[in-house]
Structure 1
Amino acid sequence: MLKHSLQFKLSQKLSPQQIQLMKLIQLPTQAFEQRLEEELVENPALENGKEETDDYDDDFNDAADDYDDDNERIETEINIDEYLSNDETPDYKYQANNYSDDDEDKSTPIAAGISFHQDLINQLNTFILNDDERSIAEFLVGSIDDMGYIRRSVQDMVDDMAFTQGIYTDEKTVERILQVVQELEPSGVGARDLQECLLLQLKHKTPNESIDLATKIIEDQFDAFSKKHYDKLLQKFDVSKDQLRKAIDEIEKLNPKPGGSYDGNLKMTEHVVPDFTIKIIDGELDLTLNGRNAPELHVSKDYQDMLKTYKDTSEKSNSQKDAVQFIKQKLDSAKWFIDAIKQRSETLYVTMNAIMHYQQEFFLDGDETKLRPMILKDIADMVGLDISTVSRVANSKYVDTPYGTKLIKDYFSESMTNDQGEEVSTIEIKNILQQVIENEDKKKPYPDDKLAELLLEKGYPIARRTIAKYRELLDIPVARLRKKI
């Protein structure tokens, strides 16, 4: 039996403008400048600098009305895909918006270099190899990852060379050529695991008593060493604590990631550009937003004139109607983008201003113990914004303070109550925990339950599992791995 029913459903749909604004808010300064350059190239109706555009709205609306009279409504929606695209940003030159046209846009030159793998290939030229051996050696170098390791088995590489390179060889030959590759610098490169990497580096050192003992430890008792079972090592090698300590010191000087230390690999140096600056002027906090976040933009006068020309045309062909649809879309897009830029700047400023005043005591003297517990909802309630908006501002923006440049989200923390009933920030507790661990006797490091007792004595009642959580967040290993002989 068929039955008709009426159902009401409340749904929420983000407009293109909202999507555009959310994406812009989460961008830090440098990424925002790239996004701005993209928009200036993609939309010819958007231009940089100041220009009077008072006649835009009247001409625009009149032309739109004329177009509607022809029973052809112009679509004005922005293509959402344009703003949700994950395509790589084109390599446009950054624009210094706070510079005048005749100022020189100076940039720091980056020294050219060669890649890590190319350097290894160049080193092969110092070895006497026939054509087949060199082909195998180059294949092995190509199998080395950025950390300097070969993660594949010899058999897999033999098969791969046969199928993809037409190089037919055997495991014995590959093992022999691998020994040549492992002679390359930095020492330890071409190892198949950490144990082999450390042994390769030890073999490159000048032999002495400590080096010999260190080699034996890595070769025969690597598992005991990695777990810091020093008593077992003392018994196994029948040496004194001083001898064992010297051998372990030699091992700790080795590099577990030889490829990562290569100075010539082409990695761009990342520079943090603060989005905000906080200064103390006459005892008062002063907040400024990086000027590069508030560029001067305007709608193209040429495009406005083209739309006005259409308005004055008595007869309109289909091609003219298509043209005016394109012009109107670009003008709308430009105007919306300019509005989004203004809203972005306002949102960034009011959010950071609220954070600054919430943490006023800290920003005035830099004492981290004065950091108040602060969550996203606290700031969202102060500024009347959604929590997700505050999160977008905090997660990707940096603030320059008299005490250094820091990610804004690092000022957020949960709260806990100390033994005096006062709410304290978990940041303060983590700092105290770190200090306790730094000052412990490394021969007998504190286990988590002992750390919990020590913090309780300092007035912070924290469970052992919470200590373990904070310790992991601070990237501090368990007591057994902190032990030193």
Structure 2
Amino acid sequence: MLKQHLQFKLSQKLSPQQIQLMKLIQLPTQAFEQRLKQELEENPALESGKEEKSTLEDEFESDFEADTGNEEITAEDINIDDYLSDDEVPDYRTQANNYSPDDDEKTIPYAAGISFNQYLLNQLNTLYISDSDWAIAEFLVGSIDESGYIRRPLSDIADDLAFTQNIYAEEKDVARVLKIVQELDPPGVGARTLDECLIIQLKRKEITPSIELAIDILEKSFDHFIKKHYSKLIQKYSISEEELKEAITEIEKLNPKPGGSYAGNNKMVEHIVPDFAIKIADGNLELTLNGRNAPELHVSNEYNNMLAGYKNSKTKSKTQKDAVMFIKQKLDAAKWFIDAIKQRQQTLYITMNSIMQYQKDYFLTGDERKLRPMILKDIADDINMDVSTVSRVANSKYVDTPYGTKLIKEYFSESMKNTEGEDVSTKEIKKILETVIGNEEKKKPLTDDKLAGLLKEKGYPIARRTVAKYREQLGIPVARLRKQI
């Protein structure tokens, strides 16, 4: 049975322009430059750089309306002042970097190099081995990951050699050739497990009693070693604590990821470009927006001249009318984009300035214990903007401070009350927890229960499970794995 009924619903929809503005606000500096370049390429009415003074001073009274019939379109239908700037200097130009045109461009050169696998193949070419072994060795080198390990079973590699290379080799042959590959540099490359990687490196050193003991421990008692069961190792090998300490010191000198030591690999290097800079001058904080976020943009003078030509034309042909419609669309887009850039700059600056003032004590001292509890709503309420806008600024922007370049969202944290009833930042608690663990006796590391007790004594009553959560967020292992001798 069908029924009809009326329903009233209140909804809010963002216009395409608002959506595009939100996307512009979210972009960090480098991505914003790419977006700017794309807009300049797609809209011929938009140009960058300083605008030449326009000689067209005629005023047009109304917006352009599309020609829907035989009605003639007159030049008065277009108001160029809506699209072009006047003789006054717009605010966005005054925020650009004050560099002269002949200043050297500050770019970072990139050195060419060879890949890690090619580096290993070049070494392989210097060895005297049979053609069949060389083919297996080449396949093994191709199976080495960027950390320097072969993560696949040798049986699988033997099968792949048969199916993909038409090379029939038994698993023992692959294992024999693997020993050859493991002689390449850097030491430890071609290992299948961590203990094998460390043993290969130790065997490349001059054998001493400490190294000999270290090899024996890795070969026969690796599980006790990684779990730091030092008392069991001392009992098993009938050694003193000092002898065990010397052996462990030798192991700690080794590289668990030999592939990472290769300096010639062609990994893409990502450089962070700060969107803001905070400096301290005479005890006061100064905030600046990266000049690359404030480009000089203007509408093309060529389009200006095209409009002037249309105005002065006595006859208005269909082709001219179509051209003016196209020009109007491009002028609208250019004018909106310039306004959007200006609004983006204002939003970024206002948001970051509010964060800077909120965390003034931290930015003046650099002491993370002075970071106040701060959530997105705190800043949104202060600047009368939506929480989502603040989130877009905080999640993707960096600020250059006297204490390093930081992601803005790192300054946000939840709050909890101390024993005096004051709101303190969870970041402050994490910093104190990190300090307490750093000062603990390494022979007897503090358990999470003991850490919770110490924090409570300092005025931060938090549960053991909360201590464990903060410790994991700081990347600090449990007490057993922090033990040293």
TM-score (norm 1): 0.87
Listed as ranges, the gaps of 5+ residues in structure 1 are: 72-95
Mean alpha-carbon deviation: is it higher for 11-20 or for 239-248? 11-20
Corresponding residue of 1:236: 236
Q: State whether structure 2 residue 27 is matched by structure 1 residue 24.
A: no
Corresponding residue of 1:267: 267
Structure 2 contact 56–308 (Cα < 8 Å) conserved: no
1:462 is aligned with what amino acid? I
Structure 2 contact 66–325 (Cα < 8 Å) conserved: no
Corresponding residue of 1:375: 375
Looking at structure 2, the residues matched to 423 and 477 of structure 1 have their Cα atoms a distance apart, in angstroms, of: 28
Q: Secondary structure at the match of 1:333?
A: helix
Corresponding residue of 1:416: 416
Mean alpha-carbon deviation: is it higher for 403-412 or for 429-438? 403-412
Structure 1 contact 158–169 (Cα < 8 Å) conserved: yes
Looking at structure 2, the residues matched to 8 and 309 of structure 1 have their Cα atoms a distance apart, in angstroms, of: 52
Corresponding residue of 2:203: 203
Structure 2 counterparts to residues 97-136 of structure 1, below 5 A = 99-136=99-136
Corresponding residue of 1:281: 281
Corresponding residue of 1:349: 349
1:107 Cα shift? 2.5
2:181 is aligned with what amino acid? V
Structure 2 contact 351–383 (Cα < 8 Å) conserved: yes
Mean alpha-carbon deviation: is it higher for 1-10 or for 430-439? 1-10
CA displacement 1:445-482 (0-9 Å, x = unmatched): 00000001111111111111111111011100000000
Corresponding residue of 1:178: 178
Structure 2 contact 28–396 (Cα < 8 Å) conserved: yes
Corresponding residue of 2:2: 2
Mean alpha-carbon deviation: is it higher for 225-234 or for 392-401? 392-401
Q: Secondary structure at the match of 1:430?
A: helix
Looking at structure 2, the residues matched to 352 and 159 of structure 1 have their Cα atoms a distance apart, in angstroms, of: 58
Corresponding residue of 1:79: none
CA displacement 1:28-49 (0-9 Å, x = unmatched): 2222222222222232222102
Mean alpha-carbon deviation: is it higher for 328-337 or for 291-300? 328-337
Structure-2 change in CA distance of 1:343 and 1:271 (3 Å): same
Looking at structure 2, the residues matched to 42 and 56 of structure 1 have their Cα atoms a distance apart, in angstroms, of: 28
1:260 Cα shift? 1.4
Corresponding residue of 1:435: 435
Corresponding residue of 1:192: 192
Looking at structure 1, the residues matched to 335 and 355 of structure 2 have their Cα atoms a distance apart, in angstroms, of: 31
Looking at structure 2, the residues matched to 431 and 300 of structure 1 have their Cα atoms a distance apart, in angstroms, of: 54
1:15 is aligned with what amino acid? S
Structure 2 counterparts to residues 215-226 of structure 1, below 5 A = 215-226=215-226
Listed as ranges, the gaps of 5+ residues in structure 2 are: 72-95
Looking at structure 2, the residues matched to 439 and 275 of structure 1 have their Cα atoms a distance apart, in angstroms, of: 36
Structure 2 counterparts to residues 163-174 of structure 1, below 5 A = 163-174=163-174
Structure-2 change in CA distance of 1:11 and 1:126 (3 Å): same
CA displacement 1:104-126 (0-9 Å, x = unmatched): 32433222222211111111112
Looking at structure 2, the residues matched to 412 and 55 of structure 1 have their Cα atoms a distance apart, in angstroms, of: 51
2:429 is aligned with what amino acid? I
1:294 Cα shift? 0.8
Corresponding residue of 2:299: 299
Q: Secondary structure at the match of 2:279?
A: strand
Structure-2 change in CA distance of 1:165 and 1:415 (3 Å): same
Looking at structure 1, the residues matched to 420 and 3 of structure 2 have their Cα atoms a distance apart, in angstroms, of: 66
1:313 Cα shift? 8.1
Structure-2 change in CA distance of 1:169 and 1:54 (3 Å): farther
Structure 1 contact 59–308 (Cα < 8 Å) conserved: no
Q: Secondary structure at the match of 1:298?
A: strand
Q: State whether structure 2 residue 34 is matched by structure 1 residue 34.
A: yes
Q: Secondary structure at the match of 2:450?
A: helix
1:396 Cα shift? 2.0
Structure 1 contact 376–390 (Cα < 8 Å) conserved: yes
1:427 is aligned with what amino acid? K
1:427 Cα shift? 1.5
Structure-2 change in CA distance of 1:8 and 1:160 (3 Å): farther
Q: Secondary structure at the match of 2:67?
A: helix
1:358 is aligned with what amino acid? Y
Looking at structure 2, the residues matched to 57 and 252 of structure 1 have their Cα atoms a distance apart, in angstroms, of: 79
CA displacement 1:49-90 (0-9 Å, x = unmatched): 23367979976965x32534569xxxxxxxxxxxxxxxxxxx
Corresponding residue of 1:257: 257
Q: Secondary structure at the match of 1:126?
A: coil
Q: How many residues align?
A: 461
2:355 is aligned with what amino acid? I
Structure-2 change in CA distance of 1:481 and 1:38 (3 Å): same
2:45 is aligned with what amino acid? A
Corresponding residue of 2:88: none
1:325 Cα shift? 5.4
Structure-2 change in CA distance of 1:70 and 1:351 (3 Å): farther
1:98 Cα shift? 5.0
2:50 is aligned with what amino acid? K
1:344 Cα shift? 0.9
2:475 is aligned with what amino acid? D
Corresponding residue of 1:155: 155
1:481 is aligned with what amino acid? L
2:257 is aligned with what amino acid? K
| Identical pairs, percent | 69
Instruction: Please provide the CA RMSD for this pair.
Output: 2.7
Structure 2 contact 413–426 (Cα < 8 Å) conserved: yes
Corresponding residue of 2:227: 227
2:376 is aligned with what amino acid? L
Q: Secondary structure at the match of 2:274?
A: coil
Looking at structure 1, the residues matched to 131 and 324 of structure 2 have their Cα atoms a distance apart, in angstroms, of: 66
Structure-2 change in CA distance of 1:15 and 1:55 (3 Å): farther
Corresponding residue of 1:90: none
Structure-2 change in CA distance of 1:227 and 1:49 (3 Å): same
Looking at structure 2, the residues matched to 425 and 211 of structure 1 have their Cα atoms a distance apart, in angstroms, of: 47
Structure 1 contact 398–405 (Cα < 8 Å) conserved: yes
Structure-2 change in CA distance of 1:37 and 1:262 (3 Å): same
Corresponding residue of 2:142: 142
1:349 Cα shift? 0.4
Structure 2 contact 380–387 (Cα < 8 Å) conserved: yes
Structure 1 contact 277–400 (Cα < 8 Å) conserved: yes
Q: Secondary structure at the match of 1:437?
A: helix
